[in-house]
Amino acid sequence: MGMISEFKEFVSRGNVVDLAVGVVIGAAFGKIVSSLVDGIVMPLVGLMMGGVKFSDLAVTLRAAEVDAAGKEIVPALLLKYGAFLQTAIDFLIIAFVIFLFLKAYNRVRAPAPEAATPEDIVLLREIRDALKK
């Protein structure tokens, strides 16, 4: 079997197509959640914390160097922890929503509970097991 035909077989399997669809939907979902966090959640959290904009939170490790005319020669060195906090909140929201989705999916997909075995079948099984001994 040639490499091209093997590749066609590999790509045409349901798993690969399902994975590709999942990746595309996941990327789109990530953009939606990032937009939600950037545009709605973080401004509300910043407002509750006194008007702080999280993406601007940083610690100055080294101040900017300026010349006599006030022009910046060397930019300031900043530790931007606000962007990290925002990304961490993005992750937590995405993980929580995926958890809820999978929980609902598993509940819908759960197999129906087995019906009780009729008593005559149970008795026949007991007889069979006793005869095996």
pTM of the model: 0.55
At 65-121, the pLDDT tens digits run 888 888 888 888 989 898 888 888 888 888 888 888 888 888 887 776 778 888 998
Question: Alpha carbon of 27 to those of 31, 32, 83, 105, 113: distances in Å?
Answer: 6, 9, 20, 20, 36
Cβ atoms of 130 and 65 within 8 Å: the answer is no
% the chain with pLDDT above 70 = 98
All structural domains of the chain: 3-132 (1.10.1200.120)
Per-residue confidence (pLDDT) for residue 127, from 0 to 100: 92
Residue 37's SS3 state is: helix
pLDDT per residue as tens digits for the range 20-69: 888 888 888 888 888 888 888 888 888 888 888 877 888 999 888 888 88
